Every structure is written in structure tokens, then in C-alpha cells.
Chain A
Amino acid sequence: MSIQEFVAPHSLSEAKGLLSDGAMASVLAGGTDLLVGVRLGTRSPERVVDLKHIPELTAIHVDAESVRIGAAASAFSILHDSDVPSCFPGLAEALDLIGSTQIQGRCSAGGNLCNASPAADSIPALIANDAQCLITGPAGDHQMRVEDFVLGPGKNALKEGELLVALILPRPSSQTADAYLRLTPRTEMDIAVAGVGVSLTLDGEGTCTAARVSIGAVAPTALLVEAAGAALVGTQLDATAIEAAVAATREAACPISDKRGTAEYRTHVVGVLVARAVAQAQARIVETSS
């Protein structure tokens, strides 16, 4: 069956109605995965619901407590028309790695998350920043952590008729910074062989008081590696602590060998990236507090 209907609702309630009347519907937040899937024959919705005209879904709000990114907000608007890059430079870098400038004009952080690719760049960065998913659906609204939202390659936790509305991230203090690094053979237009998101909080003496490490492309879903974070907390991020975090990360990784890299290589390189991302996040905190 090919696409029969294209609808562009202007309100969330209208969108919810279009997603829960039994039609085989797919949402289009930017379409950069959906249209490719339709063309390849892996997606065949009867109805496409364009979310770009719903203000709540494209808005980006930053207040003292939190940062709320509409699920359909384009990567370009997040990167160029919001305070997200100054709050989360690592998340911004992750989004900036997705596609070309033209693609970034369409694609969204919400879409990158819902697409649930093991190699998605934004997901480890969101997990590192403790992001929550705001979900609406027939049973009302609820929240869920990003690391719980992705269930497997291409599978997310949205139930029939549910819709991801926004991503909500706690606003970091000046003593907190994030970083995202990925390994691709090419500099651009490529998909992560391994990706690492890190968020660190340091006290005035440089001791790590909180750390979240998330890894991508080395397991069926992006993982929060709690042991790696734990290895860093309470340390000055000295070589021993970094080594312990690297070892914990490699332990947690369970990659496959495929056309993008061998399992051995991915396990090795995800550790290299953890060490580098920790150093980068640390440098960001030192830079802003000096």
C-alpha cells in the first residue's frame, strides 16, 4: 500500500486524533528517515501526519530549571535559534553531526530518538544529559527517561496512538558540561561506528561530583554505562579513574561486527572516545569557571 493521505494538523489534539483512529499512520517530524524508508520499502504508512505545524512540537523553551525541546523542532533551529548549544555543547555537536545543512533544516531530535537507530548521534548525548521524554497519548501524558525509551533497533516505547511531544533536560549549572564524540571513517556524511556522550559535574576543587556516560552504536540501543560514571565520581579525573571508566565502558559494550566495523574495533574505540569525551567535558567546565 502506498501513502494515501498526507495531513498537517495545527494542534496536538488534532494530531492525536489522526494517530488513534485505526489508520496505518506515521508521523513526519522532518521526514529524513520516513521518506527514505518509504522509498526503500521498509515503511509503508497509509497516512502521514506532518507535525511541523504544531507549535508545541516545534518550540524550544529554556528557563532556569530546564530545557524543553519540541520533538519536531528542526536540528537547525535547535542549533541556530536557541540556547541549547550554550547549555549543552555536546548535544549540539551530536545534532550537528546528523546529515548535511539541508537535512538539518528538516530533521529533529525527536525524530532521531523515535527512529531508534543504535547508531543515532543524539541519543547518547540526550542520555548523558539525563533527558526525559514527554509523551502524550490516549491515556494522557507521561514522562520516561530516554535510556528507557529505546527498546531495540528501530523500536521505541511509544504505544498505539502515542506521540513524543518534547524532550526535557535539566538545565546544567556552570560546573556541569557535556561532550559527544563519535568515530566515523569519514569526517562527515557518515554513521557512527561508536559514539559516546558524557556529562560531568565538578566541584570547585575539580573533583567530579556527578558523571553520566552513554554509548551508542556498540549495542542494540544506546546504553547508560552507570559503572563508567561511578568510576569517575569522587575522583579528580586522574588517569586511574579514566582507565577505570574506559574499562567499564568496554565491559558494557556488546557490539556486532558488520560493514561499519568489527566488534573488536568498536569495543576498543568506544573506550578511546570515553577518555577523550571526559577530557573534553572537563576542559569545558574549567574553561567556563576560569
Chain B
Amino acid sequence: MNAYQEFSIIGSRPVRPDGLDKVTGRARYGADLNMQGQIYGHIVRSPHAHAVIQSIDCSQALAMEGVLAVMTGEDLPEPGDSVLGSGEGAIALKDLSPMVMSRGKVLFHSQGVAAVAATSPELASQAAALIEVSYQVLPAVTDMHEALSAEAPILHEDRFPDGFPEEPTNLAAHISLEVGEPDAAFESADVVIEQTYSVPMCHQGYIEPHACVARVDAAGRVDLWCSTQGHFTVAQYTAALTGIDVGKVKVTASEIGGGFGGKTTVYLEPVAVVLAQKAGRPVKMIMDRGDVFRVTGPAPGAQTRVKLGAMRDGQLVAAEVECVMDTGAYNGNPAGIPAFMATACYKLTNARSTGRAVYTNKPKIHAYRAPSVPQVTLGVELAMTELAAELEMDPLAFRLKNAVEEGDANMMGAPYNRIGLRECLEVASAHAHYKAPVAEGEGRGVAAGYWINAGLQSSATLNVLSDGHLSILTGSPDIGGSRASMALMAAEVLGIPFDHIHPQIAATDAVGHCDVTGGSRTTLATGQAVIQAAEQCVAEMCRRAAAEWEVEAGVVTWSQGAAHYGEHSLTFEALARRAGTMGGPLTFSSSLTASSAAPSFGVHICDAKVDQETGRTTITRYTVIQDAGKAIHPAYVEGQMQGGAAQGIGWALNEEYLYDENGALENPGFLDYRIPVASDLPFIDTVIVEVPNPLHPFGVKGVGEVPIVPPMPAVAEAVYRSAGVRMRDMPLNPPKIVAALQER
């Protein structure tokens, strides 16, 4: 039962508080801050994908007029075996440090090997060219299947995943789960299908490149400004990577021009800090677009083998999923998620799932919107659709028959609370899009998707201003309209106007700890901190009103933005104006480790038309149906649904990293790494389903990630139905479709 059942302002669509600055160009992004006396950092990058660094000579660069500092990987502390964070967010320092700067060996093309700071960006770039690095070049492997072959060069001689201790291989991790007796269940099935599907490595597609500026004062205190999804995480990682106490690192988050998971780590920040420390001047660093593609963490490419068994009546009886993921040069932990979550949409008492991660000479993968789940879902959902066809069942009816609901256990053994998959499938089945006949020459695909959603740590501080306005401080960078959601939630509890509320993203020294804006957690968890702080505010205001009226606090009620008792009332504004004489400033903080997270489900319907001669696919109609729990600001929920669908469609049709034989990325830019442009997409229709999350006071569920999960299988099926050839390897670009049509 949710604490709040009826809402007055939640569910409305006010303009976001940060909107005006963003559309008028006043908002300050990562590269927009300049510090007095700043100089410019430039990173020297490896021209080889796999090599031993024999020597680095910085003397010529250092001798140049205007060059104030140089550094190499030796200037960062030895990572050892320490691990940062915990649970799903845990990462070993030895997997993080070389993504900032390598030491001893380079394992992917363009990996950083040294850096220089000089008085202008041009000088820094010229000085970087004078740093002499001598390499012993080693053979490189960029294909994960080749990386597992006996002839492949080994990236890490000293790493052995659990259960494979004999000799070094490129296997980074192997995770296997089993429930029931899948082998026996497959024996009993009427129909069994088994297919293999693949997805290439891809980029998050954020438009704003990484940028930061760092100052280190005479006492060793760091003041860092950067574009990030989580400045507390930047502080923690930067401190660990540079050996500076985290208490001395203050980080301010700029506005952020997209992240999608890609800005939940650091690349430039530790380098800027070390250079600033050495130079005694602030150091600014901006990554160019090419390096954003070449050296930051993409989403892993994956191959998924799916075996499903069902009875003639459509009852799913067994599943086996084996997903191999390309983790790049270091372990980005992609293997667990497919093992745990591959079959999360369906009731399965007999299932086996395996996730494996493989090292290759490419940048270490990093989070991208529902990390690892779109890749494995392509396989599971397309197999579900293929199996529905074998059973001659409607693909949504087949899913509905097997959909998980409250009380069903997932592969992790945890029973679901109140979830909304069935509701989404029912809405999809009845939707005008699904009821409409498929147009001549077009095809239709549907798919469902799941994402676990995170809770994690959040904090909020509410300051009641003397005129009755309210400032909200949180530490959650606003990447998708969360300021508006925070203001709406505070307005709901307090009963004051939305435009009297001023949400801000405070620096790490100005508000309690907040984990990253990621895991679809901010509106849920930071929002819950805001709700709790607002409830404290109501309680204190009622207490003050009670004191004024000389009654028990318990008899005072709060509604319509005012305290009431009998004939008496005192408004929020009156209490704010008189705060100085009624008990002092009104400031409320709340922090929590949210235990209210609940999974999200969505169902997508895609119509596509394939040009049989050119192989070009046009998405003609697209509908996203998703359970949001309770949509705080429906327009921004819809924005998330549309954005995730757009990214998934891009991944399905054109996006992929292309490496040459030397391990260099061939398409490091948005010209040849083809995310969809607006004209490539139809208007993406949305239906928000609201099955309130019983664990959250407002019923919120995370909404940001699950919309990228269903598009690939939905698009792939629509393409199959239009083109008449089945393709299971993304992307479904024109050359691939024409080749498949010609083979037919």
C-alpha cells in the first residue's frame, strides 16, 4: 500500500526548471567552465592495439617553452587488488586505472600512455608529439571468438576466472545458473527451438564529449568540475586512482549532454588532477570526438545461443541461454547480468543460463542503458517470437501465457513483488497499433523487455527560503528531467506551487552522498529522499503552528500548502517568513539507501518496411508500452521511452564499432557511426501503464533503461516479416539485408 494514493500535482507536465538555460545556451556543460590561470592537458595515445611499453621519454616535451607538467602511468598509484564500490557497481582498481593511463603495457589502440600540460591547447598537442614512446608490438585480437582460440594472444597472463585456474586464457569471467531440471524438461517439450543471435559492440551515443577542469590548492585540496552522471563517484574514483584522500576532493557536476551510462566513470579527471598538482595551475581537458569513440567504454558486443522448449498449448517448459560477451581489454563485468536476467520475463521452473566475458584488444566496456540486457534479450525475445510462430500462436498471447507476475521467482531465486508485465502485454494486445492491419510490404514485430532497476544511496536537502520559496539540493546530476520530478514531488508533499521550488545539483561538499544517476534510480531514490525531507518540513511546520496556537502538534493537519486547526491556518509562506522568530531557519535533510527499487517491464510494437532492392529499412510505426509504477512527470517518462526506443532502433539497424586488422577503430565519429537522426524515425507513440510500486511512497518505478531492451528483437522481427529473410545478427544494415536477400 503506497503512503500516497491521491495526487494533485504529480502526473502534471510543467516545464523543467533547467529548460530555459538549456534552450538559450546559458547552461554550462563540461567544457564551459574556465578557471583563472588554467592550462591545457593533452594525452599521448598508443598507435598500437597491443604492445609492451619499453620506454617513455618526456624530456623534449618538458624542455619546451610553455610546457608545465608531464605524467605517465607511473604517476598513478599501483592499483593492486583493491576494489571500489560494492555489488553490481563494484569495480577493481586494476580494471579502472589503465582506462585512465596504461602502465607497462597497452591493451587497446589509442590507450593513454602519457600526458602533458601546457599554456595553450596547441602547445600541449605539439608537446605531446615530442614525447617519445618505444613499443614492442604484440599481435592483437579484436574478435571475441578468435580471442578464445588456442592461437590467440593472451591479454592478461595473470588472470584466471573462477573455475578455470589451470592456464591463462582470454576468458574474463564465467557465471552459470540453473533452476530445476532443464535437460529433463527439454525432453518433455513438444517443440524445442535453438538459435544463435549476435549484437556488435556499440557506443552510448552521448553528444557531449568528456571534459573537465581541475585545480589543486596549496593544501592539496582538489576542486574538480566535470560532465558526469555522478560527481560523488568521480570524487571516489579520482581519489583512489590518484592516491589523494577522498575528503580532499570536491567535485562539481556540470550540466550533462547525455551519458546513458557512459559517464559513470572517469577518464580525464585523474589526469587533470595529477597534471594540476604537478604544474601548480588549473588544468582543463576536453576529449575530442574521435577519442570518445576510441578510448571510452562502449557497450559489449555479444553472442547469445538460446534454446527454448514449449508444450503445444504454449506453455514454456525449459530455457537455456548461453551468452558470450566481449568485455574489451579489462573486466567490465558484463557476464553476470545475462546469466541472471536473460529469462526474467517468463515463468520458468527449469532453466539454465550462462554468461561469459572475453578479453579482446579493445577499450574496456562500460555501462550503457540497461547494461548487457538488450544484447541477451535480442536472443531470448526473438527466439520467443520464432517459437510462437512454430506454435502458431499470437506472439503477445504466447508471452502473456508465460509472463511472470507477483510471487514468481527469477533466476536469482527472488520472488517478484507487484510488477506490470501482464498489464503491458494486455495493453499492447488491445492497442490500435497492434489491431491495425500490417500495411502492404511491411512487417510487424513485438518484444518484451525487463530491467532490474537500482536503489542505492541518495540524499536531499531542502532549504525553505524567507519568501516561501524552496530550494532543493541533491547530488544527482539531472540527465533526463529529474529536477522537474524533484520539484513535483516536493510540491505534492508541501502543497506549494511548482515554480516556487528551485532544484539544484549541489557539489560533493554541499549535500549528502548520492550515487550515480544511473540504474533508473534517481526519481525513485533521490525522489524518496526529497519526499522524506519534505515530510520532515511538514511535520516541523505543523509543530510550529501548534506552538503558535498552543495546541498539541498531533491535532494540526497539513493540506493545500498550509497548517490547519479548526478556524486557524498558517500557510507555508507565512511560516517561512516568520521562521526567524518561530524556531529558526527551516532546513531539512534526508539520506537513504533505497530498498524500494522495483523492476520495470515494457512491450514494444514495431512496423518496418524493407526496400527489397536497396536493403534499406524504414521504421514506419513504433509504439512503446511501459510500466512506470507512477509517472511523476509523464512527458519526461515518455521522453525516456522514446529515447530508449530510438537508441535500440539505431543498434538494430546501423550502429556498430568497426575495427581494422590492426585494432584501430575505423568509424570514430557520428558520420560513420550511424545513430539515427530525427528523420530516420517515426513519431514514437507511448503508453504509460501505472502499476504502483508498493515499496515506494509514490509508487515510482525506474523508467530510464528498460525502453532500450525490446527494440532489437522487435525491429529484427519486423524486418524479417517485411524482407522475408530471417537475420539474427545485428545490425540489419542495407548491405547485410541485400546479401541475405540474394542468398535466398
B174 at interface, CB cutoff 8 A: no
- In whole Å, how far is A188's beta carbon from the nearest beta carbon of chain B? 5
Q: Given A259-B666, A272-B614: A185 and B738 within 8 A (CB)?
A: no
Nearest residue in A to B654 (C-beta to C-beta)? A185
Number of chain A residues close to chain B: CB under 8 A: 21
Q: Of A191, A260, A262, A273, which is in contact with the most chain B CB atoms at under 10 Å from its CB?
A: A260
Chain B's closest residue to A275 (CB) is B613
| B639 contacts the other chain (CB 8 A) | no
Question: Known: A2-B122, A269-B614, A272-B614. Is A186-B735 also a contact (CB below 8 A)?
Answer: no
A188→B666 contact, CB < 8 A: no
Q: Contact check: which of A191, A258, A260, A269 meets B738 at CB < 8 Å?
A: A269
- Give A188 to B674 CA distance when docked, in angstroms: 10
* Contact yes or no, B671 A191, CB < 8 A: yes
Q: Does B243 contact A (CB under 8 A)?
A: no
Question: CA of A258 to CA of B667 in the docked complex: distance in angstroms?
Answer: 10
* B742 cross-chain contacts in A, Cβ below 8 A: 268
Q: Give residues 650-699 of B contacting A (CB, 8 Å).
A: 653-654, 658, 666-667, 670-672, 674, 676-677, 679-680
Q: Which of A185, A187, A189 has the most CB of B within 10 A?
A: A185
Q: Which of B613, B666, B677, B739 contacts A189 (CB 8 A)?
A: B677
State how many angstroms separate the Cβ of A269 from the closest Cβ of chain B.
Answer: 5
- A268's closest neighbor in chain B, by CB? B738
User: Do B614 and A186 have beta carbons less than 8 Å apart?
Assistant: no
Asked whether, in the complex, the Cβ of A186 is within 8 Å of the Cβ of B676, the reply is yes
**When A260-B672, A269-B614 are in contact, do A193 and B734 touch as well, CB less than 8 Å?**
yes
Decide yes or no whether B103 CB sits under 8 A from chain A. no
Docked CA distance A272–B737 (Å)? 15
A residues near B466, Cβ cutoff 8 Å: none
A188 with B677, Cβ < 8 A, contacts A265-B738, A269-B734 known = yes
**A265 — nearest CB in chain B belongs to which residue?**
B735
Q: How far apart are the CA atoms of A87 and B733 in the complex, in Å?
A: 35
Contact in complex: B614, A190 (CB < 8 Å): no
Q: Does B469 sit at the interface, judged by CB under 8 A?
A: no
Chain B residues with CB under 8 A of A272: 613-614
Q: Mark A67-80, 1 if CB is under 8 A from B, else 0.
A: 00000000000000
Q: Is A251 located at the chain interface by the 8 A CB criterion?
A: no
Q: Does A203 belong to the interface (CB within 8 Å)?
A: no
Bound-complex Cα distance A264 to B737 (A)? 12
- Chain B positions within 8 Å of A279 at CB level: none
Q: CB of B94 within 8 A of chain A?
A: no
Q: Counting CB contacts under 8 A, is A261 at the interface?
A: yes
- The answer, among B122, B613, B653, B670, for a CB contact under 8 Å with A185, is B653
B680 contacts which of A186, A193, A269 (Cβ < 8 Å)? Answer: A186
Q: How far is the CB of B159 from chain A (nearest CB, A)?
A: 32
Q: Does A183 touch B at the CB level, under 8 Å?
A: yes
- Return B665 CB to nearest CB of chain A, in Å: 10
Which residues of A have CB within 8 Å of B654?
A: 185-186
Task: Report A-chain residues with C-beta under 8 Å of the C-beta of B672.
Answer: 191, 259-260
- A269 nearest CB neighbor, chain B only: B614
* In the assembled complex, B616 has its CB within 8 A of some CB on chain A: yes
The CA-CA distance from A264 to B733 in the complex, in Å, is: 14
With CB as the reference atom, state the residue of chain B lying closest to A189. Answer: B677
Q: Is the CB of A187 within 8 A of B679?
A: yes
Give the chain B neighbours of A261 by CB distance below 8 A: 734-735
Mask of A40-73 contacts with B, CB within 8 angstroms, 1/0: 0000000000000000000000000000000000
A205 to B614, CA, bound (A): 32
Q: Residues of B contacting A193 with CB < 8 Å? A: 734
Question: B677 touching A187 by the CB < 8 A rule?
Answer: yes
Question: Interface code A171-195, partner B: CB below 8 Å = 1, 0 otherwise?
Answer: 0000000000001011111110100
Contact of A187 among B671, B680, B738 (CB under 8 A): B680
B666 proximity list for chain A (CB < 8 A)? 258-259
A242-282 interface mask toward B, CB cutoff 8 Å, 1 = contact, 0 = none? Answer: 00000000000000001111101100110011000000000
**Contact at A259–B679, with CB atoms within 8 Å?**
no
The CA of A258 and the CA of B735, in the complex, are separated in Å by: 11
Question: Closest Cβ of chain A: how far from B587's Cβ, in Å?
Answer: 47
A273 to B615, CA, bound (A): 12
CB contacts (< 8 Å) of B674 on chain A: these are 185-186, 190
Please measure, in the bound complex, the distance between the C-alpha atom of A227 and the C-alpha atom of B225, giving whole angstroms: 63
Which residues of A lie under 8 Å from residue B679 when comparing CB positions?
A: 187-188
Contact across chains for A262 and B735 when beta carbons are under 8 A apart = yes
For the complex, give the distance between the alpha carbons of A191 and B667 in Å. Answer: 13
Docked Cα-Cα span, A262 to B680, in Å, equals 22
Most buried by A among B654, B677, B742: B677
Cα A115 to Cα B328 with chains together (Å): 37
- Mark out the residues of chain A between 211 and 264 whose CB falls within 8 Å of any chain B CB in the assembled complex: 258-262, 264
In this complex, what residue of B is CB-closest to A276? B613
A186 touches B677 (CB 8 A): yes
The distance in angstroms between the C-alpha atoms of A21 and B421, with both chains bound, is 74
Given known contacts A264-B739, A269-B614, A185 and B734 CB-to-CB distance under 8 angstroms: yes
**What is the bound-complex CA distance between A188 and B678, given in angstroms?**
9
Distance of A186 Cα from B650 Cα, bound (Å): 10
Taking the closest CB of chain A, its distance from the CB of B312, in whole angstroms, is 41
> What is the 8 Å Cβ interface bit string for chain B, positions 601-618, against chain A (1 contact, 0 not)?
000000000000111100
A187 to B48, CA, bound (A): 35
B733 cross-chain contacts in A, Cβ below 8 A? 185
Chain B residues within 8 Å of A262, by CB: 735, 739
Min CB distance, A98 to chain B, in Å? 13
Tell me the complex Cα distance, A275–B577, Å. Answer: 77
Which residue, of B616, B653, B671, B735, has the highest number of chain A Cβ atoms within 10 A? B735
Interface pair B616/A183, CB less than 8 Å apart: yes
Which residues of the partner chain A approach B122 to less than 8 Å between Cβ atoms?
2
Contacts of B680 in A (CB 8 A): 186-188
Give the distance in Å from the alpha carbon of A272 to the alpha carbon of B741 in the complex.
14
What are the residues of chain A within 8 A of B614 when measuring CB–CB?
183, 269, 272-273
- Chain A residues with CB under 8 A of B671: 189-191
Closest CB in chain A relative to B726 CB, distance in Å? 19
Nearest chain B residue, comparing its CB with the CB of A266? B735
Query: What CA separation (Å) do A274 and B180 show in the bound complex?
Result: 59
Most buried by A among B613, B614, B670, B734: B614
Q: Interface residues, chain B, CB within 8 Å of chain A?
A: 122, 613-616, 653-654, 658, 666-667, 670-672, 674, 676-677, 679-680, 733-735, 738-739, 742
25 inter-chain pairs at a CB distance below 8 angstroms, sorted by A residue, are A2-B122, A183-B614, A185-B653, A185-B654, A185-B674, A186-B654, A186-B674, A187-B677, A187-B679, A187-B680, A188-B679, A189-B671, A191-B672, A193-B734, A258-B666, A259-B658, A259-B667, A259-B672, A262-B735, A264-B739, A265-B735, A265-B739, A268-B742, A269-B734, A272-B613
Binding site for B on A (CB under 8 A): 2, 183, 185-191, 193, 258-262, 264-265, 268-269, 272-273
- Apart from A185-B653, A261-B734, A268-B742, list 10 A-B contacts with CB within 8 A: A2-B122, A183-B734, A186-B674, A186-B680, A190-B671, A259-B658, A265-B738, A269-B613, A269-B615, A272-B614
The 7 closest A-B CB pairs, nearest first, are A265-B735, A187-B679, A272-B613, A259-B666, A185-B654, A262-B735, A259-B658
